[in-house]
Amino acid sequence: MTIESSKLYRKRLNGWLSYAFASEVFVIVSLTLFLPICLEQFARDNGYLLPDKTSPCSAAIPAEPTGRCVVKIGWLWIDTASFSLYVYSISVALQALTVISMGGIADHPPHRKLLLLTFAFLGALAATAFLILPSSSPVWLLCALFASIANVGFGASIVAMNSYLPSLAKDAPEVVQIMTEIQESEDSGLEEQTADSPDAPLIAPSTERTALRARYDAELARAMSRISSFGIAMGYGAGICLLIVALIPVTKMHGSTFSLRLAIGLSGIWWAVFTLPAAVWLPGASAAASEAAAESIDGKWSVGREIVGAWKRLGGMLHPREIKRLRNTFKYLAAWFLLSDGFTTITSTAVLFGKTVLHMEPTSLILIGVLTPFSGILGSLLWPRLQRQFGWSNLRIIILLVILASVIPAYGCLGFLIRGRYHFGGLTTPGEMFGLALYFGSIYGAFQSYARAFYAELLPPGEEARWYGLYSITDKSSSFIGPLVVGLISDATGNIRYAFFFLVFMIWLAIPVLISVDIEEGRKDAREYIYQ
């Protein structure tokens, strides 16, 4: 790798990492912490206590036993905790429609950066808009619209961001070095074959080239997991910084609705400001690339045709014939559908559980929000070291992390047996939330990075954005089934703790699917895949 190409690689990598630093703050500060609390608080400020539905919830004292708090939306009375979950579920369903539509556009390098920046600034603007919307406003329901737009903007921009990951890993110096050795070996083999027998098959595989290819695959996988882990660690570090800043007004204002809105607004401002370096450093549309894109599709390119084509292509991708050709990629997607939904729902359910069942103060929830990404940084940096030391594959680490994560909702289920008998255990006291935050963070940070990196190993080259669009439908910010089911459970039982049984089932259901994935066969199928 030349000095010039090395500098270009560092610039692209820094641009990618800068967007991780910018966008992950919205996830940590807003999506998993303040948005669920703030949406519930918006509903609570406009809700009434059961059974009479005449006493305002805002007049009740949280520490004292009261009736359930419900808010009227149209002709329906909805539990305030369920309102937050329903808004989240709707927003990610809209996000799924968006990322499917944009997949084909993002696969054109000239448009990938434009999509990332457009959705990033749209999402940041929606998050910032919480600053101007009080819960006392007659149009307070706009909070649901702002939350949905912010979530859609985040999810769509992450699809474009993730599509850069395979090319970044391939351009890493250690990966380029092995590829150079492979090319030299092939050139040498070609010369030998031509001299010995001109009619022999060109570049027949040798033991040396097979070993080099295996080294290349292993190094590429490590590069992707390393870059992904570093991005997660930087994002978590940024989230911790802003959470500490947000802790000041939330504490001073005793967890008022305005302080929650302020925290979300600050995450939007952070998101916008630190996206600017990515706008400068990420590769844009060169003149040649723009011309090539404009001449594609029979010489006619348009956004409308790309959107229609994306939906047609999705139908083709999900055809049984295509699923059979990439069976391991789709096996992993099936497992990811369950896991991303389960992990995301654990975070939102835990926050709402702490607020509505354990009656934890917003400042305590913020401290939990700080502990989770802090341990996430440690986890995302520790697990790659364990991987190098023990030689574990990305898939093996993912399976181990999933098993460890299932302990959390299982522990919450124990609360039904322990409650009333002991003063501790089964997630019946606020203190346990802090310990679980550290435990879950160390798992979740590593899980995010390895899940993204492992999926990149199973993608057909040149179609990363389209396939990451499919991945994003079931990604951490696109899981709508879990929150919907938890919301229904909470409405039906009046006790969100019952949702922990559902989460245990969802996570464990994915483990046998993960175990059945054949990574070597999956890589080979992806390299040979051509859409028909």
pLDDT (tens digit, 9 = 90+) per residue, 448-458? 888 888 888 88
Considering its fold, how many domains does the chain have in total? 1
Residue 139 confidence (pLDDT) above 90: yes
User: What does the pLDDT read at residue 100?
Assistant: 78
The reply to whether 291 falls in a domain is no
DSSP annotation of 419: B
The reply to whether 9 falls in a domain is no
Residue 258 confidence (pLDDT) above 60: yes
The reply to whether 6 falls in a domain is no
Residue indicated by tokens 């919450």: 412
pLDDT band at 521 (very low <50, low <70, confident <90, very high): very high
Beta-carbon contacts of 97 under 8 Å, excluding residues fewer than 6 positions away, are none
User: What does the pLDDT read at residue 265?
Assistant: 96
The reply to whether 1 falls in a domain is no
Beta-carbon contacts of 127 under 8 Å, excluding residues fewer than 6 positions away, are 26, 30, 146, 150, 264, 265, 267, 268, 271
Q: State pLDDT tens for residues 95-120.
A: 888 887 876 676 666 778 888 999 99
The reply to whether 297 falls in a domain is no
Q: Give the CATH number, domain containing residue 112.
A: 1.20.1250.20
Residues in the chain: 532
Residue 291 confidence (pLDDT) above 60: no
The parent domain of residue 333 ranges over: 21-190+206-285+302-528
The reply to whether 83 falls in a domain is yes
DSSP notation for 476-532: TTS--HHHHHHHHHHHHHS-GGGHHHHHHHHHHHHHHHHHT--HHHHHHHHHH----
The reply to whether 196 falls in a domain is no
The reply to whether 294 falls in a domain is no
Predicted model pTM: 0.72
- Whether 349 contacts 358, CB under 8 Å: no
**CA nearest neighbour of 163 among 92, 112, 111:** 112
